[in-house]
Amino acid sequence: CADYVDVLSAKLKDGCTVATMAQIVKDFNATWAKDGAYKAELLVPMMSQDLGTVYWVGRIKNAEAFGAGLERWMKEIADTDSVAGKLYTRLQQCVAFGSRGGFTTF
């Protein structure tokens, strides 16, 4: 197997646009994930049973690296003044996350 892919479904909240969410993803990649170990992108459906759901898709080298990064994220969001804390606040204002899945690529 190759990469670990982290997929979260999300519904945009009132007042939040795809452009706003795309900017959050861009800022996430440029700040908190700037080392490049985890890279996120936003999938926006063009054809789907549910056109109202967008997907946060993150990619990292393996599940072990993902777990370590998730632990770091969870620790850092507790400080609302940290980079992670500010990003998390923006995410919470913009989307309601639904399901989350983890996948490996082959």
Summarize pLDDT for 8-66 with one digit per residue, the tens: 999 999 999 999 999 999 999 999 998 889 999 999 999 888 888 999 999 999 999 99
Mean pLDDT of 78-105: 96
d(CA 36, CA 31): 10
d(CA 35, CA 104): 21
- pTM > 0.75: yes
pLDDT of 36 reads: 82
pLDDT higher than 80, residue 83: yes
CB neighbourhood size of 88 (10 A): 21
pLDDT higher than 80, residue 1: no
d(CA 71, CA 28): 16
Longest dimension (CA), the chain: 40
pLDDT higher than 80, residue 95: yes
CB of 8 closer than 8 Å to CB of 38: no
